[in-house]
Amino acid sequence: MLVYNKAKNYSARSVSSMKLASGFSNTSFIGFPLISAFYGEQYLSIAIICDQTMFFMLSIMGIVAALRGGSKSGNVSPKFVLKRLFTFPPFLGCISALILSQFINFDLAEPLFDKLAATVGPLALFSVGLQLKFNGWRKLIPQISTSLLYKLILSPILILICALVFGIKGDVAKISTFEAAMPTVLTASVFAEQFRLNTKLVNLIIGISILVGFITTGIWFQIIEFLF
């Protein structure tokens, strides 16, 4: 995205917007149901590892990218990044869950957590849908198509190449490659709004990538099954 935006002479704000929209996969909200549909629920354990890794990358690298785009100078101090990281509610929630689960049994609360989690997807799609504005979308076609090219095609190709080069086969290679082919993560929209990036571009990429992703993931399933 950095090379592409330099060639097009786009602003730092657009660079950060495309990094957020292109660099992170929707490995849970879209990924988990598709893993269950294509491979079966027994493979969700691998998908969860992919999702947690992606979440930590988004919490750290995503915040850095967003801060650089929202900063006038483009420079962000490590102290400021750490401050934003440790005040980022999802990150704090994840760390708290990992620590508390070692000392407290939450089995009694699982039904409540399940019902709360079930509301996340519809609310996220609803909020993104409210922000989707299709007027002037033709001017953004080059950026949208570049983002979709990387997110839905090049990204899984890179993971597939890594698996083949390092001789990784079986379920781990299959699920990892498939998860890399997921559309853009919905949290990118939250970051874009919070850090005053190009929310229109990010939301269009999210919405279109989800629709196109249902088609491309089916194609990737066939490719993965053929290769592995």
Tens place of pLDDT per residue across the chain (228 aa): 888 888 888 888 888 899 999 989 888 888 888 998 899 988 988 988 888 888 888 888 888 888 877 666 556 677 777 777 787 777 787 788 888 888 888 888 888 877 877 776 677 667 666 766 667 778 889 999 999 999 999 999 999 999 999 998 889 999 999 999 999 988 888 888 888 888 888 888 988 898 899 999 999 999 999 988
> What is the Cα gyration radius of the chain?
18
Q: Check: CB of residue 31 under 8 Å from CB of residue 17.
A: no
Provide the pLDDT for residue 58.
Answer: 85
Residue 21 neighbours by CB distance under 10 Å: 31
Q: What is the pLDDT of residue 174?
A: 93
Locus of tokens 């849908």: 129
Whole-structure pTM over 0.85, yes or no? no
Q: Give 4-24 as a 3 state SS string.
A: HHHHHCCCHHHHHHHHHHHHC
What CA dihedral angle connects 76, 77, 79 and 80, to 10 degrees? -30
